[in-house]
């Protein structure tokens, strides 16, 4: 344990001069920082918080706090009072979400009232960067959830650790966080080199990127990685699907791609001039093995299609609309699209939303992965198609394998929603 140097203001927070909520928050942060070797607190530029915040903790830590001390936004969320909008008639006794998200609409509203009082932006998305909250290179950002951190670190050059809800809430009320882990430059360098070999990256779909990321996370564990051999500049959507499974099959929170990651113009800079501690090859066999782990269904029938883990970009909605144009979903197949409201508003202006809704698709600001309400609140275990390796991983584990996954590209999933049978 280290002892943390606190500023006069931070000492006052710890002494209770700003009330009991702030005192509790600073106590938690100093203890947490001491355990993880922090020498000081640093100011936080933004917090993105899950609404799945224990009620007592939320009440206590915000006691006496009028406003959040930094820019704050809310994660993807399921509002239990709006179940009918996603085609669910009622919540039955005994049903629950694997993530523990509340199914009590009164509790949900109570929590929202506290977040509103503190000035949170009601973004309800796991992709805050798509609704205007874009971290700058070097910013300290606190994100709950599991994919925002790797995207913030690797694509925006911001500094983010994996964060628990209590410590993130403590940063909301203090505006501070202990300087640990990836907030320190020396901890951000790559350790493992992942060399792509013999892969036809030109022919990759979104699902290839996801399966590759799933493999990489599984072999890299908790280490920072750098990828070499990605001989084209993937789209932003492909990069998100590549990176978002890495913290799920493993615990990777920093993925360097030379020339793309802001602090890594070259591979040498990604490693800070040091040699990799390990090199891993990723070729056709590794990709195929990862794909087979994700695709757990052995039939071609489908009940449910989940797209938007992480929440969709406008380009993904455009692609969905182009496939659905003039068509209808197969009877008994639901299509749930996780997306933030501002992106839906843009899709309305582009005419995409109309096409998708007429075909039977549903937009929701909820999580379509481990808190997917169609999976957890529906009547039967489902066969679900998705283009998200992250959603596939979480749902198989959250349902103890009862929900079977058809894993493939966005195009394959949407065409499957039309035919009712897996077209991959």
Per CB under 6 A, residues contacting ligand F3S are 76, 126, 145, 147, 309-311, 338, 367-370, 390-391, 394
Distance CA 402, CA 383 (A): 9
> Can you tell me which residue has the tokens 């022919």?
203
CB nearer to ligand F3S: give 21 or 338.
338
What count of Cα atoms within 13 Å lies in the side-chain half-sphere of residue 234? 25
Q: Closest approach of Cβ 409 to ligand F3S, in Å?
A: 17
**Token pair of 245 as six digits:** 């499974």
CB nearer to ligand F3S: give 18 or 394.
394
CB nearer to ligand F3S: give 171 or 372.
372
What count of Cα atoms within 13 Å lies in the side-chain half-sphere of residue 308? 33
How many separate helices (H) and strands (E) can be counted in the chain? Answer: 17, 14
Q: Closest approach of Cβ 366 to ligand F3S, in Å?
A: 8
CA 286 to mean position of chain CA atoms = 24
CB nearer to ligand F3S: give 38 or 367.
367
Q: Closest approach of Cβ 68 to ligand F3S, in Å?
A: 21
CB nearer to ligand F3S: give 250 or 370.
370
Residue 223 DSSP one-character state: S
CB nearer to ligand F3S: give 147 or 264.
147
Q: Closest approach of Cβ 163 to ligand F3S, in Å?
A: 14
Contacts of 386 (CB under 8 A, 6+ apart): 305, 306, 307, 309, 368, 392, 395, 405, 406, 407, 413
Radius of gyration over every alpha carbon of the chain, rounded to an integer in angstroms: 22
CB nearer to ligand F3S: give 368 or 384.
368
CB nearer to ligand F3S: give 10 or 319.
319
Q: Closest approach of Cβ 316 to ligand F3S, in Å?
A: 13
Orientation of helix 284-294 relative to helix 206-220, angle to 10°:
100
Beta strands 176-178; 41-43: pairing state: antiparallel
CB nearer to ligand F3S: give 42 or 98.
98
Q: Where are the alpha helices (DSSP H) in 179-235?
A: 206-220
CB nearer to ligand F3S: give 258 or 336.
336
CB nearer to ligand F3S: give 28 or 366.
366
φ, ψ of residue 190 in degrees (nearest 5)? -70, 150
Q: Closest approach of Cβ 99 to ligand F3S, in Å?
A: 8
Q: How far is CA 159 from CA 149, 162, 284, in A?
A: 8, 11, 33
Q: Closest approach of Cβ 388 to ligand F3S, in Å?
A: 7
Cα dihedral 380, 385, 387, 391 in deg (nearest 10): 10
Identify whether the C-beta of residue 172 lies closer than 8 Å to the C-beta of residue 57. Answer: no
Q: Closest approach of Cβ 309 to ligand F3S, in Å?
A: 3
Beta bridge partner(s), residue 336:
306, 362
Closest CA to 159 of 247, 35, 254: 254
Q: Closest approach of Cβ 378 to ligand F3S, in Å?
A: 17
Distance CA 255, CA 103 (A): 35
Q: Closest approach of Cβ 127 to ligand F3S, in Å?
A: 7
Identify whether the C-beta of residue 134 lies closer than 8 Å to the C-beta of residue 156. Answer: yes
Beta strands 361-364; 278-282: pairing state: unpaired
Distance CA 57, CA 72 (A): 17
Q: Closest approach of Cβ 94 to ligand F3S, in Å?
A: 23
């Amino acid at each position: 344990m280290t002892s943390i140097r606190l500023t006069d203001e931070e000492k006052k927070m710890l002494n209770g001069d700003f009330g009991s909520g702030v005192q509790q928050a600073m106590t938690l942060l100093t203890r947490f920082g001491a355990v993880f070797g922090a020498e000081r607190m640093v100011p936080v530029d933004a917090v993105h918080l899950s609404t799945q915040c224990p009620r007592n903790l939320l009440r206590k830590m915000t006691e006496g706090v009028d406003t959040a001390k930094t820019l704050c936004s809310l994660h993807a969320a399921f509002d239990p009072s709006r179940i009918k909008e996603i085609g669910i008639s009622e919540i039955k006794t005994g049903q629950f979400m694997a993530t523990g998200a509340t199914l009590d609409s009164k509790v949900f509203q109570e929590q929202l009232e506290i977040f509103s009082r503190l000035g949170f932006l009601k973004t309800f998305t796991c992709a805050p960067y798509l609704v205007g909250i874009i971290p700058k290179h070097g910013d300290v950002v606190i994100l709950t959830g599991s994919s925002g951190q790797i995207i913030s670190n690797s694509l925006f050059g911001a500094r983010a650790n994996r964060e628990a809800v209590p410590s993130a809430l403590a940063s909301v009320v203090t505006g501070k966080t202990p300087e640990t882990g990836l907030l320190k430059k020396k901890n951000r360098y790559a350790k493992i080199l992942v060399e792509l070999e013999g892969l036809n990256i030109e022919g990759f779909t979104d699902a290839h990127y996801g399966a590759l990321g799933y493999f990489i996370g599984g072999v890299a564990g908790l280490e920072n990685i750098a990828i070499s051999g990605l001989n084209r500049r993937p789209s932003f959507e492909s990069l998100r699907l590549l990176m978002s499974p890495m913290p799920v099959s493993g615990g990777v929170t920093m993925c360097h791609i030379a020339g793309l990651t802001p602090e890594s113009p070259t591979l040498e800079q990604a490693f800070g001039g040091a040699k990799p501690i390990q090199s891993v090859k990723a070729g056709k066999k590794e990709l195929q093995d990862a794909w087979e782990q994700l695709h757990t269904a052995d039939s071609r029938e489908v009940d449910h299609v989940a797209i938007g883990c992480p929440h969709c970009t406008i380009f993904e909605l455009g692609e969905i609309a182009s496939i659905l144009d003039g068509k209808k979903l197969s009877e008994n197949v639901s299509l749930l699209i996780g997306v933030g409201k501002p992106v839906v508003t843009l899709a309305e202006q582009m005419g995409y939303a109309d096409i998708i809704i007429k075909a039977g698709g549903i937009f929701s600001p909820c999580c379509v992965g481990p808190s997917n309400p169609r999976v957890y609140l529906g009547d039967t275990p489902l066969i679900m198609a998705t283009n998200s390796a992250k959603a596939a991983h979480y749902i198989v584990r959250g349902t103890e394998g009862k929900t079977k996954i058809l894993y493939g590209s966005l195009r394959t999933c949407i065409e499957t929603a039309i035919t009712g049978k897996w077209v991959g």
